[in-house]
Each structure stands twice: as C-alpha cells, then as structure tokens.
C-alpha cells in the first residue's frame, strides 16, 4: 500500500497567507506607533489612551501638556514638535490628527479641541516676540498646509484655515480663513450650490 498525501494547492495557500499578512499589517503598525508614543510622550502630565506616533515627535515640556485619547501623529520628512515653556499649558482634545512638521508652542496657553486636523508644517504659537496671548482652536477644525496661527486667536468650531494663511484675528465658527493676513468667509457661501 502506498500512502497518498492530500492534494494541496500551494499557490492558493500562499495567496491566503499573503492576504492575512496584508490584513494584519495596519494593526501591527498601529501597535508599534502606540508604543513609540508612550516613549516619546513620557514627559507629559497626561497621556490619553491609544495615542499613536508613526514618526518622530519632539517634546520639550517645562509646563503642563495634556493629550487626549486616540491622537495620531504622522511620520514624514520632519518631526512634529510640542513645546511647553514654564507656566505654559498645552491641551489637545480627543481624536485630533497631526501630519509631519507641525509645531505647537505654549508660553501661556494653547488649547486644541477634539477631532481637529493639522496638515504638514502648521505653526501654532502663543508668543510672537511682541506679546503673549492664549490660543484656542475649537472642535472639528481643519488647519491646512503651512498655516500659521498667531497669539490671541480663537478659531471657531468646524472652521477651515486655508493653506499658507496667517491668522491674526479670531475666526468665527463655520468659517473659511484664508490669506495673509487671513480674511474670514462663511463656509455657507463657499458651499452654496451655484445652480449649474
């Protein structure tokens, strides 16, 4: 009697294993990013759950930094940085996302709401050499590439700061701020149907 091994289709098995690997990869990358975040943010007073750093983040904390849950810091060409000077307070809400090269600097107070998005090379600082004033960025704000938010500014909920804009005055909720210095335009005007 000869023993016969069951017929196995090797290419199908290999394809299934590759598919399982592709499915598991994002979870593995997220797990590594969460471990990296625990190490990089070890100097902050409060670190939320499931914070992930996919690349380097520079943290210099001589004040108080509080980070919310499920934050994401993307990796890229340049590291992002969080700087809090003595007596300063930097607070970031839940589910906020940062692309690479973002710099947040607090001498007095910088507060970022929940579910905000920051594109690459955004600068937010509450001191410009002449004066220091707190900055508040409310919930659901999108700050586009290269924008700068100056001291004393409040950016209202659901607003958008256009790429390259320099914001020197308050931005009301549901507003598009664009230009240098930034001018405000209602998002209702931007989204209105033209009828064509």
> Average pLDDT in the 111-130 region?
95
Mean pLDDT computed over every residue of the chain? 89
pLDDT at 11: 78
CB 137 within 8 A of CB 124: yes
pLDDT of residue 22: 75
- The pLDDT score that the predictor gives to residue 19 is 78
Q: For the segment 86-110, what is each residue's pLDDT rounded down to a tens digit?
A: 999 999 999 999 999 999 999 999 9
Residue 168 contacts residue 183 (beta carbons within 8 Å)? no
DSSP string, 90-108: EEE-TT-EE-TT-EEEESS
Residues 191 and 71: their CA atoms lie apart, in Å, by 29
Contacts of 1 by beta carbon, 8 Å cutoff, 6+ apart? none
pLDDT in tens, 70-86: 999 998 889 999 999 99
Side-chain half-sphere exposure of 40, counting CA atoms within 13 A: 23
Cα 48 to Cα 70: distance, rounded to the nearest angstrom:
7
Q: Does residue 150 contact residue 166 with C-beta atoms inside 8 Å?
A: yes
CB 186, CB 171: distance < 8 Å? no
- Identify whether the C-beta of residue 64 lies closer than 8 Å to the C-beta of residue 89: yes
pLDDT at 44 over 80: yes
Cβ proximity of 135 and 152 under 8 Å: yes
Q: Distance (Å, rounded) from C-alpha 143 to C-alpha 115? A: 12
User: Of all residues in the chain, what percent carry a pLDDT higher than 90?
Assistant: 74
At 14-23, the pLDDT tens digits run 777 777 777 7
Query: Of residues 1 and 67, which shows the higher confidence score?
Result: 67
Contacts 24+ apart (CB under 8 A), 115-120: 115/139, 115/140, 116/140, 116/141, 116/142, 116/143, 117/141, 117/142, 117/143, 118/143, 119/143, 119/144, 119/145, 119/146, 119/147, 119/163, 120/76, 120/145, 120/146
């Amino acid at each position: 009697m000869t023993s016969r091994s069951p017929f196995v289709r090797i290419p199908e098995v290999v394809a299934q294993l590759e598919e399982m690997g592709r499915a598991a990869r994002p979870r593995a990358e997220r797990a590594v990013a969460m471990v990296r975040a625990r190490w990089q943010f070890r100097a902050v007073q409060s670190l939320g759950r499931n914070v992930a750093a996919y690349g380097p983040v520079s943290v210099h904390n001589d004040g108080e930094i509080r980070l919310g849950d499920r934050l994401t810091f993307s990796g890229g060409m340049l590291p992002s940085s969080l700087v809090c000077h003595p007596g300063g307070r930097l607070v970031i809400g839940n589910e906020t996302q940062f692309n690479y090269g973002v710099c947040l600097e607090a001498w007095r107070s910088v507060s970022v709401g929940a579910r905000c998005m920051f594109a690459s090379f955004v600068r937010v600082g509450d001191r410009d050499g002449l004066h220091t004033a707190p900055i508040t960025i409310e919930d659901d704000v999108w700050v586009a590439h290269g924008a700068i938010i100056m001291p004393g500014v409040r950016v209202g909920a659901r607003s958008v700061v256009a790429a390259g804009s320099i914001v020197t005055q308050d931005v009301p909720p549901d507003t598009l701020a664009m230009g240098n210095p930034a001018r405000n335009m209602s998002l209702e005007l931007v989204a209105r149907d033209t009828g064509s």
